[in-house]
């Protein structure tokens, strides 16, 4: 994976995009490139992974902020906590930023304490680990200001990642590769931030770098939308020998606007034309595995149900598959042309019948 990839570009959004916009962009792209829709298309598969990865980072305020900071999209300089807060909140509010009211507490666009998150970063700049006599060589930019502190072991922050799975995977359980972005100690300066009195170029003097890691995660069967899976010690690196944070995997089941599920049975509705209904046809309908043929017999009525045996979900235990129940609806095209109207009139003349004559109004 290319570490220089810009997740905002991947999702086609602005860096000032709010949570809703990010979610919307992700959902649209994920639907478009979903492997189930683009079977065997490697490019779509890669794109889908990329989108998932981008969303796993930008879809969560905490990882997004970390990403923005680590990529340099938010310029965090040693300064007061209040300044830092303002800077970060400005970054995501964009044009919609409310005018600052003097003395009043600014709205926090994230549902959390920014100070807490930024503490880890600003704290590093506040620390002073330069050796005596090295002052002249030190770059002015990275000059530390406060008195030295004893390094205390600190547990790394927990991180979250989003994962989208198909309804079949949710039903059966699966093993999925999950790409996470987390902070790790910089390998070059080993977290010291300075090499030979010069700010480390690998981590830009931050002492830590953002790294991608791919994990194989086992998703248990019969998992529900919104479930959280905790993976111990896969969060951000602990500081000064502290233990690592944990990874919380937030499971999303890819919503199907097309299928509903009842146990192992899959239900769906497909439109057919009046001609197909009257004369019969062989049509293609989507199934959980892709498109399958469905034979529409002549004189099919709207609302008629067809059972496609064994085309439902596999049972998690026996592997035996349920059925797909397809309901057909007759679709009338809009904007009928004069020619079409003429033909419908002809049709009505050819057969005079009242489809409501059997209805008895019992008062
Ligand atoms: Zn470094």
**Ligand 1 centroid to residue 51 C-alpha, Å:** 29
Q: Look up the CATH number of the domain holding residue 76.
A: 1.10.287.110
**Ligand 1 centroid to residue 60 C-alpha, Å:** 26
**Ligand 1 centroid to residue 130 C-alpha, Å:** 14
Assess whether 307 and 231 both reside in one domain: no
In a domain, 358, yes or no: no
Domain-terminating residue out of 253, 268, 296: 253
Burial 184-219 (b: 16+ CB within 10 A, else e): bbbeebebebbeeeebbeebebbbbbbbeeeeebeb
Assess whether 275 and 208 both reside in one domain: no
**Ligand 1 centroid to residue 287 C-alpha, Å:** 51
Assess whether 222 and 270 both reside in one domain: no
Assess whether 268 and 230 both reside in one domain: no
Assess whether 169 and 295 both reside in one domain: no
**Ligand 1 centroid to residue 201 C-alpha, Å:** 6
Containing domain of residue 34, as a range? 7-253
Residue whose structure tokens are 């926090």: 108
Report in angstroms the alpha-carbon separations of 155 from 60, 113, 158, 241, 331.
20, 18, 9, 8, 60
Strands (E), 173-239: 174-185, 194-195, 198-199, 208-219, 228-231
Assess whether 268 and 170 both reside in one domain: no
Domain-terminating residue out of 213, 230, 253: 253
Q: For the chain, list residues with pLDDT below 70.
A: 1-5, 35-36, 39, 62-63, 65-150, 362-363
Q: What share of the chain is helix, strand, coil (3-state, %, to 5)?
A: 30, 25, 45
> How confident is the model at residue 116, as a pLDDT?
43
In a domain, 96, yes or no: yes
**Ligand 1 centroid to residue 83 C-alpha, Å:** 25
Find the farthest-apart pair of alpha carbons in the chain and give their distance in angstroms, rounded.
105
Question: What is the separation of C-alpha 189 from the centre of its chain, rounded to a whole number of angstroms?
Answer: 34
* Beta pairing partners, 175: 218
Assess whether 243 and 325 both reside in one domain: no
**Ligand 1 centroid to residue 14 C-alpha, Å:** 29
> How confident is the model at residue 66, as a pLDDT?
56
Task: Tell me 259's DSSP state.
Answer: E
**Ligand 1 centroid to residue 23 C-alpha, Å:** 33
> How confident is the model at residue 247, as a pLDDT?
94
Which candidate, 10, 12, 36, places its Cα nearest to that of 290?
36
In a domain, 37, yes or no: yes
pLDDT tens, position by position, 253-312: 877 778 888 988 999 999 999 999 999 999 998 888 778 899 999 999 999 999 999 999
Assess whether 231 and 290 both reside in one domain: no
Assess whether 289 and 344 both reside in one domain: yes
**Ligand 1 centroid to residue 135 C-alpha, Å:** 19
How many residues can be counted in the chain?
Answer: 363
> How confident is the model at residue 133, as a pLDDT?
46
> How confident is the model at residue 11, as a pLDDT?
93
In a domain, 156, yes or no: yes
**Ligand 1 centroid to residue 110 C-alpha, Å:** 29
In a domain, 361, yes or no: no
**Ligand 1 centroid to residue 330 C-alpha, Å:** 65
Assess whether 148 and 204 both reside in one domain: yes
> How confident is the model at residue 70, as a pLDDT?
53
In a domain, 135, yes or no: yes
Number of compact structural domains in the chain? 2
Sign of the CA dihedral 333, 337, 340, 344? positive
Assess whether 123 and 191 both reside in one domain: yes
In a domain, 363, yes or no: no
> How confident is the model at residue 124, as a pLDDT?
37
Report in angstroms the alpha-carbon separations of 210 from 192, 202, 269.
16, 11, 46
**Ligand 1 centroid to residue 166 C-alpha, Å:** 40
Taking ligand 1, which is a single-atom ion, which protein residues have CB atoms under 5 Å away? Answer: 186, 188-189, 200, 202-203
């Amino acid at each position: 994976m290319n570490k220089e990839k810009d997740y905002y570009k991947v999702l086609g959004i602005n860096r000032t995009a709010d949570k809703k916009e990010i979610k919307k962009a992700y959902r649209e792209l994920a639907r478009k490139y979903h492997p189930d829709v683009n079977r065997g298309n490697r490019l779509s598969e890669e794109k889908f992974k990329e989108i998932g990865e981008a969303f796993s980072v930008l879809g969560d305020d905490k990882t997004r902020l970390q990403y923005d900071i680590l990529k340099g999209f938010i310029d965090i300089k040693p300064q007061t906590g209040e300044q830092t807060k303002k800077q970060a909140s400005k970054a995501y509010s964009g044009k919609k930023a409310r005018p600052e009211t003097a003395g009043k507490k600014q709205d926090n666009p994230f549902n959390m304490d920014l100070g807490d998150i930024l503490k880890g970063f600003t704290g590093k700049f506040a620390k002073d680990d330069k050796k005596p006599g090295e002052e002249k060589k030190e770059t002015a930019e990275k000059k530390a200001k406060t008195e030295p502190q004893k390094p205390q072991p600190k547990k790394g922050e927990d991180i979250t990642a989003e994962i989208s799975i198909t309804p079949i995977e949710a039903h059966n359980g699966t093993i999925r590769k999950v790409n996470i972005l987390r902070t790790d100690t910089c390998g070059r300066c080993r977290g010291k931030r300075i090499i030979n009195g010069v700010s480390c170029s690998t981590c830009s003097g931050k002492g830590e770098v953002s790294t991608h890691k791919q994990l194989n995660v086992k998703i248990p069967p019969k998992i529900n939308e919104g479930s959280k899976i905790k993976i111990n010690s896969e969060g951000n690196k602990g500081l000064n020998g502290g233990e690592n944070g944990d990874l919380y995997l937030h499971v999303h089941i890819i919503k199907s606007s097309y299928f509903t599920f009842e146990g192992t049975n899959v239900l769906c509705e497909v439109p057919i034309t009046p001609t197909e209904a009257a004369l019969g046809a062989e049509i293609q309908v989507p199934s959980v595995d892709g498109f399958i043929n469905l034979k529409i017999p002549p004189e099919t009525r709207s609302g008629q149900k067809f059972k496609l045996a064994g085309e439902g979900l596999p049972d998690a235990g026996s592997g035996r598959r349920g059925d797909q129940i397809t309901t057909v609806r007759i679709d009338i095209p809009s904007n009928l042309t004069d020619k079409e109207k003429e033909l419908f009139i002809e049709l009505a003349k050819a057969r005079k019948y009242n489809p409501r004559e059997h209805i008895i109004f019992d008062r």
